[in-house]
Chain A
Amino acid sequence: EVQLLESGGGLVQPGGSLRLSCTASGFSFSAYAMNWVRQAPGKGLEWVSGLSGSGGSTYYADSVKGRFTISRDNSKNTLFLQMNSLRVEDTALYYCAKGLASSNYGFDYWGQGTLVTVSS
């Protein structure tokens, strides 16, 4: 059974940093691209970042480019999102999502999410 478990969320002041983690199980982690998708309270979904199975290719939404860094440790089946220079508008539930076998443009498994609140 595929499982994705996010952690690392919390309350942080504007300009601060957080590092999110997503621990995966139930599939061959290194074979799949992985992504972060966020959902602000009461709002829709926003893709944030993705990276290839090897970690060699990374992609970012314009809204986080230059501030967030996605990475993975395939030896520990773990995905990360380093978030710097956080803004109030980054407040959201952050989901870890697994890319499809056929492409990384659809996400077939999602974690429960970890809440990030940016507020002074």
Chain B
Amino acid sequence: QSALTQPPSASGSPGQSVTISCTGTSSDVGGYNYVSWYQQHPGKVPKLMIYEVTKRPSGVPDRFSGSKSGNTASLTVSGLQAEDEADYYCSSYAGINNFVFFGGGTKLTVL
């Protein structure tokens, strides 16, 4: 089993947009539309931000959006705010034998 690949860090200034990538293979990200994104503030519980590639749970601001191209999924945060500073993790379904993989996480810094 292999974790999905995320950049360790990303940053942007307030009001800007930032995109975090999540690269897998045709056996996980590329093979299914079951990519999720989670936000985790230090010492807090992960929060679901995006599921099934592009869907937002109720209560998640529309500044957060998801997309996928081939084996790479992306989370875009528009209009960055200070409270967006957190760790972000992607996950993907990887088939019946592997089930779910997470990415290694990306620390988003709001400058």
A105 and B34 contact, CB distance less than 8 A: yes
B48 and A47 contact, CB distance less than 8 A: no
Give the A-B pair count, Cβ closer than 8 A: 69
Which of under 10, 10 to 19, 20 to 34, or 35 or more describes the interface residues of A?
20 to 34
A62 and B1 contact, CB distance less than 8 A: yes
Q: Return the contact of A47 from the options B32, B45, B102, B104 (Cβ within 8 A).
A: B102
In the assembled complex, the CB of B93 is this many whole angstroms from the nearest CB of chain A, namely 4
A59: chain B residues at CB < 8 Å are 96, 99
A25: chain B residues at CB < 8 Å are none
A46 and B34 contact, CB distance less than 8 A: no
In the assembled complex, the CB of A99 is this many whole angstroms from the nearest CB of chain B, namely 10
- Which positions 74-96 of chain A face chain B at CB distance < 8 Å? 95
Q: Taking A95-B45, A112-B45 as contacts, is the C-beta distance between A50 and B38 under 8 angstroms?
A: no
Interface residues of A (CB under 8 A from B): 35, 37, 44-47, 50, 59-63, 95, 100, 102-103, 105-108, 110-113
